[in-house]
Structure 1
C-alpha cells in the first residue's frame, strides 16, 4: 500500500477550497458587472479600430488611384519622347 503524504493531501484540499472560492467570486454580481464593463469597453475599442481601418482603406484607395495616374502620365511622356526621337533620327537621315 502506498503511504499517504500529508503535503499532497493538504495541497489537494487547498486546491479544492481555492477552486470553490474562485467559482463563488467569478459568479458574483460584482464580477458580472466587471465582465460586462470590460466587454462594453472591448466593443467600443473594436468600433474605434474599425473606423480607423475604414479611413486607412479609403486613403489607400486614393493613393493607388493617384499613383496609377502618375504612371500613366509618365508612360505617355516616355512614348511621346520616343516618337520625337524617332522623328529626329528620320529627319537627320534624310
Structure 2
C-alpha cells in the first residue's frame, strides 16, 4: 500500500476529528458506538487513530453516517473541512 501524501494525511486527520466530533454528540464510548454500527470496538479505534497510516474508506464513512442518521454531505459539510491555505 502506498504511503499517504501530506495532503492525504491532513484530510485523514480532519475525517478522524469529524468522526470523533459526531460520535461524541451521540456517545462518549467507542464500545457503544461500535455496537450501534455492528462493528468491533477495535474498528472504531482504528478509524479514530491518528497513528493508523491507512485512510478510511468512503464505505466506512458511509456506514458511520448511517449509524448517526447523517448523509455524506452532512458529514463533510463541516468547518473542519474548510481549507485554511
TM-score range, shorter chain: under 0.3
| Structure richer in helix, relative to its length | 1
Tell me the TM-score normalized by structure 1: 0.25
Tell me the TM-score normalized by structure 2: 0.27
Structure 1 or 2, whichever has the larger Rg, is: 1
